[in-house]
Each structure stands twice: as C-alpha cells, then as structure tokens.
C-alpha cells in the first residue's frame, strides 16, 4: 500500500475529489493546511515599493492537502488523475508525495491490508 499526499490549490479540491471518485477511489482525507514552496510564499507586487514591504508578504499560503491510502497498483492512476485536474502550468499547482504504508484496518470488520481499502 501507498500513501499519496497531495497539496493542491483550494479551488481544485472538488474537481479532484470528483475525478478520483470516477476512477474508483472514493475514500480520502482532506486537511486545511498552510504552506510555502519554491517561491517562499506570496509577494504582493504592487506593495513591494512601500516601506515595510517585508510585512506585505504572505508567508504561508492556504492550501488543501489530501491523503489517500491506496493499493500499490492504484498509485499510478491516482497520481495521474491528480496531475490532470491540477496542472495549470502556473506556479503553485501543488506537490505530490508518495510513501509506503505497512497496514490498514477497517474497524467495523477487522479487515486488514488491501481488503481494508476496497
């Protein structure tokens, strides 16, 4: 199993959720997060000439983070779908991180591993 963590633009969350549902991946967790990437937050250009402009930077930008635990064989299509929905070519399109997961358990039934993900 893999965990796919995708940090995406706030306004892409509904379309991402729908696209994942269509490929058979309905289960996910959404987190409200604040982060910064390569651009180190957001500079507000029209204010950059002003005294105190340093304080006019938005140091952390609100984003949405989705966490999905999926079967190994589903990871590739999940990543592809997230890219399809979120890639605009502009900075801030997001990041995807993938990690191994040891186990999953459905509490209601006691199913484990891939069985718990179906």
Ligand X SMILES: Nc1ncnc2c1ncn2[C@@H]1O[C@H](COP(=O)(O)OP(=O)(O)OP(=O)(O)O)[C@@H](O)[C@H]1O
Residue 6 binding partner per list Mg ion, ligand X, none, with a CB distance cut-off of 5 to 8 Å that depends on partner kind? none
What count of other Cβ atoms lies within 10 Å of the Cβ of residue 35?
13
Q: Is 95 in the site for ligand X (CB under 6 A)?
A: yes
User: In this structure, are residues 84 and 50 in contact, taking their beta carbons and an 8 Å threshold?
Assistant: no
Q: Is 89 in the site for Mg ion (CB under 5 A)?
A: no
Return the number of the residue (8 or 117) whose C-beta is nearest ligand X: 8
Query: How far is residue 112 from each of residues 1, 104, 117, measured CA to CA in Å?
Result: 11, 5, 8
Both tokens of 12, joined, read: 């892409």
Q: Is 88 in the site for Mg ion (CB under 5 A)?
A: no
Looking at 56, 92, 96, 111, which residue binds ligand X (CB under 6 A)? 92
Looking at 56, 61, 98, 101, which residue binds ligand X (CB under 6 A)? 61
Dmax (CA) of the chain: 62
Looking at 17, 37, 71, 101, which residue binds Mg ion (CB under 5 A)? 37
Alpha carbons 40 and 51: distance in angstroms, whole number: 20
Q: Is 99 in the site for ligand X (CB under 6 A)?
A: no
């Amino acid at each position: 199993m893999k965990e796919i963590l995708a940090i995406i633009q706030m306004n892409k969350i509904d379309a991402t959720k729908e696209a994942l549902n269509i490929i058979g991946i309905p289960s996910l967790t959404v987190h409200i997060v604040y982060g910064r990437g390569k651009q180190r937050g957001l500079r507000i250009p029209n204010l950059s000439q002003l005294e105190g402009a340093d304080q006019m930077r938005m140091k952390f930008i609100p984003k949405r983070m989705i966490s999905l635990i999926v079967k190994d064989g589903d990871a590739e299509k999940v990543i592809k779908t997230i890219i399809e929905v979120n890639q605009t070519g502009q900075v801030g399109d997001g990041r995807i991180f993938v990690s191994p997961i040891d186990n999953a358990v459905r509490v209601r039934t006691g199913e484990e591993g891939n069985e718990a993900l179906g």
